[in-house]
Amino acid sequence: MLNKIKLENILFLDIETVPEVATFSELSDEKQELYNSKTKYQRKDEISAEDFYERAGIWAEFGKIICISVGYFVGLEGKRAFRVKSFSGDEVQLLKEFKELLEDHFYRSNQLLCAHNGKEFDFPYIARRMIIHRISLPEKLNLFGKKPWEVAHLDTLELWKFGDYKHYTSLKLLTNILGIPSPKQDIDGSQVGKVYYEENDLKRIVEYCERDTVAVAQLLLRFNNLELLKDDEIVSV
């Protein structure tokens, strides 16, 4: 699958999102009605918009990013290492820091962003939140006027689909069937909002996000029959 793509030219990433405010009642009346309208097809008739609000983080219009974790390979000619770094906390600040990383280190045409379900979730979510906060899009996220082959995005879910666009496989399932250590050792995505708003434990969320980022890199290695990362090759920076 890699063909001419070099591992050191790939920036692996994962994001964690939560509802923009802790409770449905904190939204303005207009925003409550907009959320009600947005989610009416996802909710069953007996579930109110308020009861469904814990899912609000999956939509960029009603959620926010609290962590972006990235990982990249170094030293492939000698001792291999996978460096992991996270941007977390205030959304505006973390988006600006992530943009700076892209513009300073991952701006070349042969460099790619890679995430699991990234084309449907991570990449558009980051771009939408940047636009909401009036942050100009870095080139890697600006798709306006680009042809499909000019978009510098890799998606491990898309690679696994092999053209079967009806098929969805979670990161947890895929790592399990391919013999990759599970990234879901502590919490899962459905618990992030509670950990953030009720437990105020951002550090726990960052660690979870970093494990997912490592898992995405492991998937790409496994797809190409390359040796999986060992614990001593993973370095937090």
Please give the average per-residue pLDDT across 11-26, as a whole number: 97
Please give the average per-residue pLDDT across 15-21, as a whole number: 97
Q: Mean pLDDT score of the chain, rounded to an integer? A: 93
Confidence of residue 60 (pLDDT cuts 50, 70, 90): very high
Please give the Cα distance from 124 to 145 (Å, whole number): 15
Please give the Cα distance from 146 to 153 (Å, whole number): 12
Element (H, E) at 161: helix 156-161
Closest CA to 189 of 19, 7, 1: 19
Query: What structural domains and CATH numbers belong to the chain?
Result: 7-20+62-236 (3.30.420.10)
Angle at 19 between CA 156 and CA 65, to 5 degrees: 50
Residue identified by tokens 């974790």 is 69
| Whole-number pLDDT of residue 153 | 96
| Whole-number pLDDT of residue 1 | 66
Which pair of structure tokens corresponds to residue 116?
């699991």
In the predicted structure, residue 3 carries a pLDDT above the cut 80: no
pLDDT tens string 67-113: 999 999 998 777 899 999 999 999 999 999 999 999 999 999 999 99
Closest CA to 205 of 217, 220, 216, 190: 190
Which pair of structure tokens corresponds to residue 85?
């770094």
| Whole-number pLDDT of residue 142 | 95
pLDDT tens string 190-212: 789 999 999 999 999 999 999 99
| Count of CA atoms in the C-beta half-sphere (13 A) of 237 | 13
pTM of the model: 0.94
Please give the Cα distance from 50 to 35 (Å, whole number): 9
Residue identified by tokens 């207009």 is 30
Please give the Cα distance from 140 to 124 (Å, whole number): 11
Please give the average per-residue pLDDT across 115-133, as a whole number: 97
